[in-house]
Every structure is written in C-alpha cells, then in structure tokens.
A and B are shown apart, each in its own frame.
Chain A
Amino acid sequence: MADRVVAGRVIVAGTAEGEALVTDAALSFWGGYDFHTGEIIDKHHPLAGVRAAQRILAVPFSKGSSTTTAVLLEAVRAGTAPAAIITTGPDTFFALASIVADVMYGKSFPVISLEPADFASLRTGEHLSIEASGAIRRT
C-alpha cells in the first residue's frame, strides 16, 4: 500500500516514528500514567494496562489533574514517555511537558494536532512517522 500522508498542525515541532496507540477518550497522566513503566493506569480509561512508552499516542485532549505535565516530564526523563502525542486541538498540557523537557533535558517530543476526521482515521498498530512540518506519514 502506498504511503498516505495526513497534514497536522505543529504544536511542538519534532520528528518521531513508531506504532500508533489510538483512543478517543481524554486522559489525565496524573493518576493515569505510570512514568516508571510507561503504562496507562487509569482504570476508567479504555487503554488501562496498555504500555504507551515509545509509541505514538493519539489522544484527543488531556483532562483532570494539572499534574499531567509533571508526570509527562518525569516520563521523558525516565525514557518512558510516548514518542509523540497527536491530539484534536492545541493541548497546552502536553505541549508544556515537551517544552520543559527540551529546556531541562534537551529532549522534546512532537505534539501534533489533527482535524477530527483525520484523527478518527488513525488506527492502533499502524506505523506512523511524524515529520518536522507536522505531516504524518502512514505506512
């Protein structure tokens, strides 16, 4: 199958590639993500028990605790963060974690926003590469 490209809006620029992990349910990383293991732990969430570390996590937006950012920063430091996060809008919590990780550790991850229809077309398990322009290549 030929590559298909989805145009995303860059919230925090960067490149990444990996396996997509897709959910339509918002997530709080505090109480929802174990930065020691990279696993989603929110028992209310459909991805509870799934490892998101090094995968490209597509989640529409953050919810819940303000501490989501700090958990994500810890995950970047520990090497257990998603490789990139794809959202349906400019989620400030995810963006801030990437920006502070860049400032503190020189390690940021791309945060890309998609139109809802494009977001809905993503499938868990497909291989994605994110380009600096925000283009998402699906193979």
Chain B
Amino acid sequence: MANGDGGPAQALAMSILVRMADVYGATELMDISQAHIDSTIYLGDATLEFAERLASLGARVAVPTSLNVSGVDECGWKDWAVKADWAAKAARQMLAYERMGAVPTWTCAPYQTHMRPVFGQQIAWGESNAISFANSVIGARTERYPDLLDICCAITGRVPAVGLHLTENRGGQICLRLTGVPEALQQDDQFFAVLGHLVGQLADESIPVIDGIVVSPTEDQLKAFAAAAASSGRVALFHMVGVTPEAPTLDAAFLGRPPERTVAITTADLRAARRELTTADGRELDMVILGSPHFSLAEFSLLAPLVAGRRADPRVKFLITSSRLMKEHARETGVLAPIEAFGAQITLDTCILASPMLPPEIKTLMTNSAKYAYYAPSLLNTRVTFGSLADCVRSAIEGRVVRDESLWQIA
C-alpha cells in the first residue's frame, strides 16, 4: 500500500505510519477493525490543512471510524463567544473528516455510543480519556495514539504491532494499594475522579494496578477515573483488581509477574489530591460546567431528580457538554426537560476546552470533572472549584460555592 496502490491519500497515510513504525520499534504492522479520531479538534491552520490535504487526496477510512469532539458546536456556537472565522474553519475541519467516511459521532466518549468496541478488539484510538477507557474498562486494545496518526491508522486499517496491542505488554507494572481508605469514602461521588488524578501522577510511564477497591464503580465513575489519570499523567491502561476485565485477581493483573514497586494510597493522599483540583478561593461562581468526558444518558438521569422543580441562580451559568446522541436519548427518556427547566444549557460536538466559547467575564468555574479542573486553569485562565454533582447543583441554586465536606474531613 505504501507505493500508492490504494491512491495518494493512502500512500501519504502509509508513509507516515511506516516512519512511525520505526519510532515504535515495530518490525511489522497489524490489522485493526475500528478507529476513533482525535485529529478533529481544530486548533489553527495546521490541523485544518492536514485534514483538507487528506480529504482532497480522496482519503477514505478503511475501518468503522468514530469522530472525537471538534472545535465548534456546529448548531449552537452563536450563543457563545465563538468568532465566526473560528466557527467556519472548525466546521471545514469537521467536513473534511466526514468526507473521509467517518461517522460524525462528535464525542470524546465514543465508548458510550453504538461504536463501542468489544473485549480483545484491536483498535486505533486517539483522545486520552477514550484510550484509557477502551483499554482498561472494556479490554479493547489500542496504543496511546496521538492526533494525526489516528487518522493514518484509520485510512490504512493498520497499526504498528507493538505496545498495548500485544498481550505480553498489557500486564501491570506498579501496584497502587488503597490503605485504610474507608468504604464510605470510596462510595462518594467524587472518589474515582480524585483517585484518577492521583494515580496519573503516581504512575509515570507505568501501567498501574489499583488494589483495594471495595465498591462497585459505575461506568461513569470509571470514565471519570480514566479521564483524570490521562490528564494528570499519561495512563493509557490501568487495571483495577476485581473491577476491570483483565484484573479478576491481583496476580492476573500483573500477568503473574511481580510488581516493580508497591505504593500505598491513604486517605490523606486522596484529600491532598482533591485539594489540588480546586484553584478558586470559593468566593465567586460564574459557571457550573459538567461533561468532560461528555455527559452520558446515565449522568443526565442522575442529574434530573437533583434539579427537578428548582431553578439555578440567574447569575450562575449551568452548562453541560455532551453529544448529539446523548442529548437525544435524554430527551426521549424525559430526563432532559427538568434539566432545561432548571436553566441548564447544553453544548454539543465540543467542549469548553476545545472551543473558544466562554466569554471573558467567566472567570470562576465549578465542576465535578477532574479533567476540566486540570485543564481549565491553564487553557482558559479560569479558576476552578472541584465538587460532587450534588455540590455543583446546590451551588448553582444558591449562587455561591457550597460543598459538602463531611466525608473528606474525617481524620
């Protein structure tokens, strides 16, 4: 294929892939059966020129391919501070990837769509949270693919046969053991996001195995964990003993090999990690922001009874970032109506980090997303309070930051 048998776009994609195979130290390529493209995020002329170069050469994806968030809410951007020039270019970049035959899912949670891969499936995924979720929670197999390479894999249907695609490389390397962390804290709504933030820092380049979980996390809690660990660190695969599919036992998580090191995680460590996620002083609140990764139907369903019959303080914006599919499911199941009546706005296709949508007067945010809490201070120059979903709702109603600290203050 590298010689152009599949057309000029495939030749270009293959030439990049072959050079990267050398960097990966791969001696051969292997087939994949699915891809997820993070290159959709418009940043500027270079990302657009890359997408349009491929599209103009006639690129077509060779495997079923989903698309990550873009740089603009195609239908709703005019409600926000997005400039028309940005919206036009971001939309052109969206069109370029649609022209390649990818499915316009426009979400950073493709694992919660019909494009969800299955255990053992060989895939090429971009988007750090999605990579971590697919590998760890589903047991599908992807390397940590960067933007621009994900689409080359999708066009060729091939990846370097290395890393997390191969069983022998999927074993845990370090053991992170919860020590004296009470069940009540593990059941707290914020626990898995905070743990993920801490694990990302502790894991470095290693595959972490988390031992000592005594609760049964929901899929959205594991999503929050995966996103947090892939933001504060570079975790592309984790194992959680008794929770994730490749970790029925500690021994299985390590593929029978001994851990390189074991680190205890205490309640004090978790408290410190939670404190790091808050950079605001708690006095003012301009916006509650939910949905990084994109809000799921289950999350809409959790939120609805919390807000039913209430109204957010008009001084506080309440924004949820999600996908077209999830919003439609929420509408069909009746949980969207009370959320909209509460005063919530919903942005689709993108998020506040990927689209320059927030007006400058929004300086302080509150969120239950560790990923938003990690990136917003640097990317948006905002300050953030991290709290539970219930804290976020109560704060929006009262128009000021309110957090239930009871579980996090126990000695």
| Chain A residues in the interface with B (C-beta under 8 A) | 11-12, 26, 28, 31-32, 35, 41-44, 48, 61-71, 73-74, 76-78, 89-90, 92-93, 95-97, 99-100, 103-104
Additional A-B contacts beyond A43-B279, A64-B232, A104-B53 (17; CB < 8 A): A26-B204, A31-B353, A61-B205, A64-B128, A64-B230, A64-B231, A66-B126, A66-B145, A66-B146, A74-B45, A74-B47, A77-B46, A92-B144, A92-B146, A97-B146, A104-B46, A104-B49
Contact A89 B375 (CB under 8 A): no
- Minimum Cβ distance to chain A for residue B88 (Å): 18
For the complex, what is the distance from the CA of A26 to the CA of B204, rounded to whole Å?
A: 9
Contact status of A63 and B234, CB under 8 A, knowing A77-B46, A95-B23? yes
- The verdict on B80 contacting chain A, using a C-beta distance below 8 Å, is no
* Least distance between B44 CB and chain A CB atoms (Å): 5
Does B379 sit at the interface, judged by CB under 8 A?
Answer: yes
| Whole-angstrom distance between the Cβ of A120 and the nearest chain B Cβ | 15
A74–B38 CB distance below 8 A: no
The B contact surface, by secondary structure, is helix
Chain B interface residue bracket vs A:
35 or more
Q: Are B146 and A69 in contact (CB under 8 A)?
A: yes
CA distance A71 to B375 in the complex (A): 15
Residues of B participating in the A interface, judged by any CB pair closer than 8 Å: 12, 15-16, 19-20, 23-25, 38-39, 41, 43-47, 49-50, 53, 126-128, 131, 143-150, 200, 204-205, 230-234, 279, 353, 374-375, 377-379
Residues from chain B with Cβ under 8 Å of A32 in the complex? 378
Chain A residues with CB under 8 Å of B205's CB are: 61, 89
Which of A43, A44, A70 is the one whose CB lies under 8 Å from B39?
A70
Are A69 and B20 in contact, with the CB atoms below 8 A?
Answer: no
- Point out the residues of chain A lying under 8 angstroms from B44, CB to CB: 35, 74, 77-78
B155 smallest CB distance to A (angstroms): 14
**For residue A90, which residues in chain B have a CB less than 8 angstroms away from its CB?**
23-25
Q: Which A residues are in CB contact (< 8 Å) with B200?
A: 63
Provide the bound-state CA to CA distance between A122 and B58, in Å. Answer: 46
Contact indicator A67/B147 (Cβ below 8 Å): yes
Q: How far is the CA of A12 from the CA of B148 in the complex (A)?
A: 17
Residues of B contacting A11 in the complex (Cβ-Cβ under 8 angstroms): 23
A44–B374 touching, CB < 8 Å: yes
Check A103–B378 contact: CB distance below 8 A: no
Q: Is A67 touching B38 in the complex (CB atoms < 8 A)? A: yes
Closest residue of chain A to B15 (Cβ to Cβ) is: A103
A92-B148 in contact (CB<8A): no
B46 to A70, Cβ gap below 8 A? yes
A70 & B234 in contact (Cβ 8 Å cutoff): no
Of A41, A89, A96, chain B has the most CB atoms within 10 Å of the CB of A96
Q: Which residues of B contact A73 (CB under 8 A)?
A: 46-47, 50, 148
**Number of A-B contacts defined by CB within 8 Å:** 120
Most interface-central of A65, A76, A104 (chain B CB within 10 A): A65
Q: CB distance B23 to A66 under 8 Å? A: no
With a cutoff of 8 Å between Cβ atoms, the chain B residues found around residue A89 in the complex are 205
> Can you pick out 6 interface pairs between chain A and chain B where the beta carbons lie within 8 Å of each other?
A66-B127, A69-B148, A92-B20, A92-B146, A95-B20, A99-B16
- Interface centre among A32, A68, A99, by most chain B C-beta atoms within 10 angstroms, is A99
> Which residue of A12, A43, A103 contacts B16 across the interface (Cβ within 8 Å)?
A103
Contact check, A96 vs B45: say whether CB atoms are below 8 A apart.
no
A68–B146 touching, CB < 8 Å: yes
Point out which of A67, A73, A78 has the most chain B C-beta atoms below 10 A from its C-beta.
Answer: A67
The answer for the CA separation of A92 and B16 in the assembled complex, in Å, is: 12
- Check A66–B234 contact: CB distance below 8 A: no
Closest partner residue, chain B, to A41 (CB atom): B378
Contacts A67-B43, A73-B50 given; indicate if A96 touches B148 (C-beta within 8 A).
yes
Find A71's partner among B43, B145, B149, B231 (CB 8 Å cutoff). B43
Decide: A100 near B16, CB < 8 A? Known: A42-B378, A67-B38.
Answer: yes
B56: min CB distance to chain A, Å: 13
Find out whether the CB atom of B45 lies under 8 angstroms from the CB atom of A70: no
Question: Which residues does chain A contribute within 8 Å of B145, judged by CB atoms?
Answer: 66
